[in-house]
Chain A
Amino acid sequence: MKQRLEQLLESGRQSVMQAQSDAVLQEVRVQLLGRKGELTALMKGMGALSAEERPVIGALVNTVKDSLESLIAERSAVLREEEIARRIEGERIDVTLPGRRRQLGSLHPITQVTQDVSAIFASLGFGVAEGPEIEKDFYNFEALNMPKDHPARDMQDTFYISEDVVLRTHTSPVQIRTMLKHQPPVRVIAPGTVYRRDSDITHSPMFHQIEGFLVDHNVTFGDLKGILTAFVTRYFGAEIGVRFRPSFFPFTEPSAEVDMQCVICSGKGCRVCKDSGWLEILGSGMIDPEVFKSVGYDSDIYSGFAFGMGVERIAMLKYGVSDLRLFFGNDVRFLQQFA
């Protein structure tokens, strides 16, 4: 009996291991452990055993049964694993095929630069102001210390709507409008569209500027250098050199042109910087007392500085755009690169 049980365990083990699918395994199970199975058949012979043998064999029967049960369970688990593995293998896809995509939108680079620059100045405490694109001569010129017949008007070829109304040639009129409305202290930037009567490879009749100004007690030229150095290094990188050199604007005195080290050649000299190693990036200066006079600020009490930059120029340097016309051509192959 004992021998037969051991044989049953051995042949059962082989049948279980040979089962290649869950269905076959179930058949094996029925064959071994079912009501009409081999173990049941063996147990029918128990009655013929002696009283001493019976508990020993009984225990052995249970052991064999448990062993077979667990063999079947293990085999079943293995078969299930294999089945899943097979299915996964069968479902393999080509992951190199491109995914399902939607058209991406993009902000125009002019908008992006304006937003990025504004964010830096916002963190330096500057608010945003706006003004009309079609402007009175007074705000665009007169109040900025550029009376009629002033040679400085030659610096900005102007589109006229009427004798006294122009397409603004810079965002500086926003300075006047803001100062007429608010008493110091003021810290404001004014991004906007401006127009000059000039069109060639480096000039567009419409372009964009960001104007900024700060008026308070005890503002110095050193503060102007501080704010603008902070801006240039934050926007273009901390390693960029900045220099200030004398220039002329009718509405600032002293005036300064702000150059940064050429981002193309790192100051070594190239075509973009005309071999100088420097790029003009901002016009700036201490606000002229004449401007304060025209807005009713007392220049004995307050001082301040103003600055302005060309958005397209900054975008060209930042993104390596060499042709100004790309900004207004609106070719989607250009625009989508800013997605």
Chain B
Amino acid sequence: MVVTWNWLKEFVEFDLTPEELSHRLTMAGLEVDVMEKLGAGLDGVIVARLLDVTQHPDADRLTVCRVDTGAGEVQVVCGATNHRSGDLIALATVGTILPGDFKIKESKIRGQLSQGMLCSEKELGLADESAGIMILPTDLQVGQPVFKALGLTDVRFELGLTPNRADCLSVVGVAREVAAMVAGTLHVPHATLQETGANIQTETSVEILDADKCPRYAARLIRKVKIGPSPQWLVRRLEAVGLRSINNVVDVTNYVMMELGHPLHAFDFSLLRGGKIVVRCPGDSAFTTLDSQVRKLTTNDLAICDGEGPVALAGVMGGENSEIRPETTDVLLESAWFEPYAIRRTSKRLGIHTDSSHRFERGADINMVPVALDRAAALIALLADGVISKGMIDAYPRKIENRSLIISTKRTNAILGLALSTAEVSRLLSSIGLDVKHAADADQLVVGVPTFRPDLEREIDLIEEVARLNGYDLIPVTMPSGCSTGHPEPAGQGTVRRLRDLMVAEGFAEVVNYSFVHPDVSDRILLTADDERRIHTVVRNPLTEDQSVMRTLLLPSLLETAARNIAYRSNDLSLFELRPVFRPVHGTELPEETLHLAAVLCGRRAPLGWCQTEEPVDFYDLKGAVEQLLEVLHIEGASWSNATGEPYLHAGKSCTLMHRNRCLGVLGEVHPKVLANYDIAYPVFMFELNVASLIQEANAISGIQPISRFPDVYRDSAFLLDSSVSAATITETIAGVRSNLIESSVIFDVYSGKGIPEGKKSVAVRVRYRSTERTLTDEEISKVHDRLVRSMESRLKACLR
């Protein structure tokens, strides 16, 4: 909604600067998004007369003008073609800064002196487009600033209104707020009409067949109108609030809508078949609105019909078949009130949002129906020489009464933290035109709510008005008493935090990708046709196909993120994401949301540097990270099995992570075909873990191991083994020795190649011995270590090297 300073001043007196008014409106809940001073700084643009216009000697398209400024004569070179000697024009004198930071300087144009500029409306910020320079009315005084001479000095306020404030979708509505602010009086215009000729009742009729959707419909008939352009003041005013001038009759309906907030519609009476109005739902039918679009109506769309069919979409838009044309002479003017929900449904379904539908949806004032009708009729009579027929039709089958509410001062103060008296509450509510009466109980007031405030439905709505009108600033800042109830954290929140922290400690950067993805991600990661992760929760109205289904795995988004980074030549990546995935569950309304933790790793192990390794990362970098995750969560005894069955993983370099028969997730190298689908040219390693499972398997620290005071002794042994023997079986074999003297064992070298027979490998193990009770003797250690070696030999056919 846009209002202007001058327009507001017609309805209320106030002594504020534009800045103060802007601030007060914002603090009253009518947020000023933009304040624009029209003509500010343009005093240098003056009314001037063209003394003569001659062709530029060296440029076909330019003219050289002699201009009378009232204080002397200047010469200006001009490129326009619509100016003639004797015209009054807008001259931007030297030194003026036009909108767009354009400073006027004295210059020579093709050798001719130019001391200013003849302006178009566009150049003065008065219009979006203009053809040629602005030719001014002949009665202006030469030398005066143009904005002042034309009465254009004004201030525009663009308000960002909240949907509850339908009452402020008009200049009068905003003026009412201003009046409350400054304790002033609001003057609402009341039209006086001259009615002539036959009574409207004998000329036409209005029939409402659906009083639920249309409780009131009023009309006037204005004959002998002359359709033509509107006067300048009307054009300017409409432009100032963002409307385009059409013709005098349509402009009046728009003007009254902006002024009083009530949408009106003008029909060409001669085009109404049967000469009458019927308000009804015509059912399934096609109808062309005045923007030449064919609209398909359905059962519940309310239309204004004539004797045969629709002539307007009620409250939304008029019809092409009955619109005001240049040759129109008789106008049927409509002022009606429609139920907000009905207008909303139709406008939403058809995707038509108009100034009219906007107001009816939010709730217009039913008592404004005759007022707006008379105001518009009077203006049409004035501006289009129309003759108003006697009387009006005011069909009002379902009367809507003022609401009556009770407000308690005690409750008001209890909610706001204020200490107002009942009298103060009464004063505040009266200031916006509510009808306040004292009740039997001194604490209470009975408040009659006029129909222009449909948002005030309950006591709490009035309490809000009290807070607003008194000023939010004046509510003292306090702290709530009482203490927190200490709701337990949702299960696993601590674990999730620890997982994030550990991933950061491992050098991974957290990413946040959209939860919705393209449905083709399943193909890109090679999921088989029957894979249940192909079944997505589908967004019905996505913005793009890229964001049309909810992801069931994090991996595809991470690969996309990796590819994008690689495209920017960030080649060494370690990224993780910890967010939910969504799986539709048959028979339940909501899908299952499960937290996943996924990571991708690629490129060099360390940043490039003179002392850093240049080695690329491999499977074990990733596995190390997962092992540490398990350690942090105190999940012991997890197993790594080579078969994942995941089509997106390299079958030889991947595994499933299991713990107590629960699958925690998978890790491995991404399948080269998948990488090719993401245009990634080198290996990427990934893991994706189910955080819910991790939370279930996680343990707290149960108690600590004592630290031995005695020295350790270690033995290194290298074994020759079949290549197929896994590290896990070696670890198991060592554990199988079951000696409490073994503190730890580490595989510290794995080698095959030169010096090792084909099909064999050498595995070196360091076994650390220590007792918590005494210093171990060589003999004791040898006994256990020999047993370990023999166990390796017998179980794994190992040879000590």
Interface of A with B (CB < 8 Å)? Answer: 97-98, 100-108, 110-111, 115, 125-130, 132-136, 149, 151-152, 154-155, 159-162, 164-165, 167, 178, 182, 185-188, 193, 195, 197, 199, 205-206, 214, 216-223, 225-227, 229-230, 243-248, 253-257, 274, 276, 286, 288-289, 303, 327-333, 335-336, 339
Contacts and interface: CB of A to CB of B under 8 A. Distances in A.
B478 A222 contact: yes
B292 interface: no
B550 A134 contact: yes
A248 B162 contact: yes
Contacts of B417: 220-223
Nearest to B464: A254
A245 B464 CA distance: 11
B248 interface: no
Contacts of B510: 105-108, 111, 335
A291 to B, nearest CB: 11
A331 to B, nearest CB: 6
B565 A128 contact: no
A327 B561 CA distance: 12
B415 A330 contact: no
A197 B479 contact: no
Nearest to B572: A103
Contacts of A274: 33-34
Given A151-B361, A223-B417, A127 B514 contact: no
Which residue, of B29, B513, B542, has the highest number of chain A Cβ atoms within 10 A? B29
A187 B484 contact: yes
Contacts of B165: 248
B540 A103 contact: no
Interface in B708-762: none
Contacts of A188: 487
B506 interface: yes
Given A108-B511, A246-B467, 18 more contacts: A100-B609, A101-B606, A103-B606, A107-B510, A111-B510, A127-B485, A134-B591, A160-B540, A162-B540, A245-B27, A247-B31, A248-B162, A253-B464, A257-B31, A289-B458, A330-B564, A331-B565, A332-B575
B144 interface: no
Interface of B: 26-29, 31, 33-34, 162-165, 340-341, 344-345, 361-362, 414-418, 458, 460-461, 463-464, 467-468, 472-473, 475-490, 493, 497, 500, 503-516, 537-543, 547, 550, 561, 564-565, 568, 570, 572-575, 579-580, 582, 589-591, 593, 606-607, 609-612
Contacts of B508: 105
Given A105-B508, A247-B162, A331 B487 contact: no
21 contacts: A100-B606, A101-B609, A103-B574, A105-B507, A106-B509, A127-B486, A127-B489, A133-B582, A134-B590, A135-B590, A149-B344, A151-B362, A225-B476, A243-B473, A246-B464, A254-B460, A274-B33, A274-B34, A330-B561, A331-B565, A332-B570
A136 B589 contact: yes
Given A101-B609, A254-B467, A134 B537 contact: yes
A106 B477 CA distance: 38
Interface of A is mostly: mixed
B473 A244 contact: yes
Given A98-B610, A127-B489, A253 B509 contact: no
A162 B584 CA distance: 12
Contact of B485 (A104, A182, A220): A182
B505 A254 contact: no
A76 B682 CA distance: 62
A126 B484 contact: yes
Contact of B487 (A182, A214, A332): A182
A253 B344 CA distance: 24
Given A193-B515, A219-B480, A154 B487 contact: no
A327 B512 contact: yes
Given A129-B490, A289-B460, A221 B582 contact: no
A102 B606 contact: yes
Contact of B574 (A100, A105, A129): A105
Contacts of B479: 223, 226-227, 230
A159 B540 CA distance: 7
Contact of A154 (B163, B415, B516, B572): B163
Nearest to A183: B485
A225 B477 CA distance: 5
B593 A132 contact: yes
